[in-house]
Amino acid sequence: MTKLLRLIVGLVALALIIAFAIANRAVVEVGLAPLPSKIELPVYGVFLLGLIIGVLVGGIGVWLGGHAYRRDARKLRNRTWALENQINVLNRQADQEQAKRYTAGRALAHQGSD
């Protein structure tokens, strides 16, 4: 359901962006205040450029903000791996101990039948 909703919202957003680009093809001069150079872009180009820059800056901000969570997840993953290895070692030791008891019991039973 969530995927379908995302697809519908994405298609609506895409349709709006295309409609905006078709309606705003006029060329405007764009410049950054401290820089002396200016470039000419269509209005939709300015909009799309701002949208792309915003997505990149926002994505980088979210990625940097999630550093603590990724670090904690990595620590927990390593701890889980270590504990699973300990469990495997203990299981192997228990199996070996059980096998020793079994063979010792069989040897005693074999001696008693002689």
Convert the pLDDT of each residue in 25-71 to its tens digit. 899 998 888 888 888 989 988 988 999 999 999 999 999 999 999 99
Query: Can you give the pLDDT at residue 112?
Result: 60
Element (H, E) at 15: helix 2-23
Residue 109 has pLDDT above 80, yes or no: no
Q: What is the mean pLDDT of residues 69-76?
A: 96
What average pLDDT is seen over the chain?
Answer: 90
Residue 90 and residue 95: Cα distance in Å, rounded? 9
Q: How confident is the model at residue 99 (pLDDT cuts 50, 70, 90)?
A: confident
Q: What angle do CA 39, 45, 46 make, to 5 degrees?
A: 70
pLDDT of 90 above 60: yes
**Three-state DSSP state, 35:** coil
| Residue ranges per structural domain of the chain | 1-65, 68-114
**Least confident stretch, 7-11, 38-42, 64-68, 88-92:** 38-42
Q: Is the pLDDT of residue 13 over 70?
A: yes
